[in-house]
Chain A
Amino acid sequence: MKNIIKLAIMALLLSMPAFAFKQNDIESGMKSKIDKVLVVLKKKESNTQKGQQIISVMDPVFDYNLMSKLSLGSNTWSSLSPNQQKEFMKLFVAKLKQSYIDKLDLYHNQIVVYKGVKPYQNGRLQLQTELSGKGETYKINYNFYNNNGNWLIYDVVLDGVSIVQTYRQQFAGILKEKNFDQLLVQLKTKK
């Protein structure tokens, strides 16, 4: 009897959808996630609380590892020791999340319009959305790549501005004059 329960639980766990999306679920999956985010945004809680809830909704679809690596550039990344990579990733991901939480104040009941999933560079895919409010409309595009059948986000593009690209340029600029440890310090102190 006990074994059967165990089996049932295992079957349940195995049949749970993977965290990341299958190719055809990108739009519907993101839609349900963004809907959850909008519900959280409308709650009357502090930004930190809301931010934590939103991040826990969105976390599974982001490949933070790859984002960190791309922001630093593959050459720099591979020249680092595993410990340095870990340290950088920790700081960089914290910064990404913090900057996301800081943006919550800017949300004023805009609506999200889904423009569909379009083919992007090298067989990757881009989910195009628009945030439309009283005044301007902002384009928010999520870039996905195929990680063994699971599609994960490796970049977010706001009105044509790629988050990874802007960090990449900044890091490259800093590393021209300073060494990696100084970059870590700068990443730590600039909040």
Chain B
Amino acid sequence: MDKLYIVVIAFFLNFSFADNNITFSSCKTLDSNETCKDDILPPDTNSSNFEEEFGDTNKSATFDPFEKYNRVMTSFNDKLYVNVLDPVARGYSNTVPEGGRVAVSNFIKNIYYPVRFSNNVLQFKFKNATKETGRFIVNSTFGILGFFDPAKTNLGWEESNEDFGQTLGFYGLPEGPHIVWPFIGPSNLRDTFGIVGDTYLNPLSNTKYHSINYKIPQNRLQEAGIYSYEKLNQTSLHLGEYESIKKDAIDLYPFLRDAYTQNRIEKIKE
């Protein structure tokens, strides 16, 4: 009986040693793997290292000249979402099955092809631009006018979302002050120029005399109608997300502002 316990102890001790061995040997064989280079990194509990990563709390929040207006507009957009967009989108999602709404979303996305293509080219992402063209051809034909996305589901060609704001950021234009637009939501000066640029390329917008021939809406009213429907359809596919995100905020405006800013930085880096 005593022997058994010794065996048990030996087993566990051995187990923990063996575990260590595996750890070390697996790392040595993976020399090229960057994460393994220095197996024993010094512990960094020193918080000053971390302060560097997150930046100075005093500096970063200061440059916001439109804060007052932005706060008002944030609460306008918030009320618009909660009282109008969300209930209408819920009603719509109860009437139209999800498959149909996804198809509409695919169809609209497919029409945005010129925007994605141009911005990929402007950022020298030729491979992605080619893939976008391939996606447009496949989805417009086999995907029945873009209602389906066989390019992604069957061929694995993911879309590469690039907009003109990201292109301007790619060329080093700073973001400028944060601006919250009615209906559109958080933006900044650079991305506002971006929206203007993309509107010119977007077949679903109406730019009057300067229009490219492929424009679908013939006047502002049609344009607004299409935009509203697009927004409604999109909301119906993301019900509850905004409310859930909103709960994380202690103060809604700076929360949305910083989330937007960080997200845009990430997208420009991609």
| Chain B residues numbered 1-58 whose CB sits less than 8 Å from any CB in chain A | 1-2, 5-6, 8-9, 12-13, 15-16, 19, 23, 26-27, 34-36, 38-45, 47-54, 57-58
Q: Which residues of A contact B254 (CB under 8 A)?
A: 169-170, 173
- Chain A interface residue bracket vs B: 35 or more
| Residue pair B61, A160 in contact (C-beta under 8 Å) | no
Report the Cα distance A77→B162, complex, angstroms. Answer: 40
Known: A24-B26, A70-B50, A160-B266. A170 touches B251 (CB 8 A): yes
B248-A122 in contact (CB<8A): no
A window 22-36: CB within 8 A of B: 22-25
Query: Is B61 within 8 A of A173, CB to CB?
Result: yes
The size class of the interface chain B forms with chain A is 35 or more
Contact check, A15 vs B15: say whether CB atoms are below 8 A apart: yes
Docked pose: A161 CA to B245 CA in angstroms = 12
**Interface SS of chain A: helix, strand, loop or mixed?**
helix
Is the beta-carbon distance between B5 and A4 smaller than 8 angstroms?
Answer: yes
A166 x B41 contact (CB < 8 A) = no
B265 within 8 A of A: yes
* Residue contact A23 to B50, C-beta cutoff 8 Å: no
What residues of chain A lie closer than 8 Å to B36, measured between beta carbons?
Answer: 23-24
Q: Is the CB of B251 within 8 A of A146?
A: no
Number of A-B residue pairs having CB atoms within 8 Å of each other in the complex? 156
- Report Cα–Cα, A166/B9, bound state, in Å: 49
A134 within 8 A of B: yes
Q: Is B60 an interface residue (CB 8 A)?
A: yes
Contact of B247 with A102 in the complex, beta carbons under 8 Å? yes
Q: A23-B41, A122-B52 are in contact. Are A8 and B9 (CB under 8 A)?
A: yes
Which positions 85-136 of chain A face chain B at CB distance < 8 Å?
98-99, 102-103, 105-106, 117-119, 121-125, 134-135
Cβ–Cβ contact B259 & A168, under 8 A: no
Q: Does B195 contact A (CB under 8 A)?
A: no
**Residues of chain A contacted by B49 (CB below 8 angstroms):** 122
Question: Nearest CB to that of B64 among chain A residues?
Answer: A173
Q: Does any Cβ of A come within 8 Å of B199's Cβ?
A: no
B47 and A135 form a contact (CB under 8 A): no
Contact A105 B259 (CB under 8 A): no
Q: How far is the CA of A154 from the CA of B50 in the complex (A)?
A: 10
Beta-carbon contact of A166 and B58 below 8 Å: no
How distant is the Cα of A24 from the Cα of B38 in the complex, in angstroms? 11
Q: Determine if A103 and B244 form an interchain contact, defined as CB atoms under 8 angstroms apart.
A: yes
Q: Which residues of B contact A46 (CB under 8 A)?
A: none
Any B CB within 8 A of the CB of A48: no
Q: Tell yes or no: A164 within 8 A of B by CB.
A: yes
Q: Please state if A122 and B5 are interface contacts (CB–CB under 8 Å).
A: no
Question: Contacts A8-B5, A168-B57 given: A122-B44 contact, CB under 8 Å?
Answer: yes
Q: Give A171 to B54 CA distance when docked, in angstroms.
A: 13
Contact of B51 among A74, A166, A173 (CB under 8 A): A74
Query: In the bound complex, what is the Cα–Cα distance between A103 and B52 (angstroms)?
Result: 30
> Contacts A105-B244, A170-B251, A170-B255 hold; do A121 and B52 have CB atoms under 8 A apart?
yes
5 additional contacts (CB under 8 A) given A24-B27, A122-B53, A165-B54: A8-B9, A23-B39, A74-B50, A161-B266, A172-B60
User: Lowest 5 CB-CB distances: which A-B pairs, in order?
Assistant: A160-B266, A15-B12, A172-B57, A73-B57, A15-B16
B residues near A, CB below 8 A? 1-2, 5-6, 8-9, 12-13, 15-16, 19, 23, 26-27, 34-36, 38-45, 47-54, 57-58, 60-61, 102, 105, 158, 237, 240-241, 244, 247-251, 254-255, 258-259, 262-267, 269
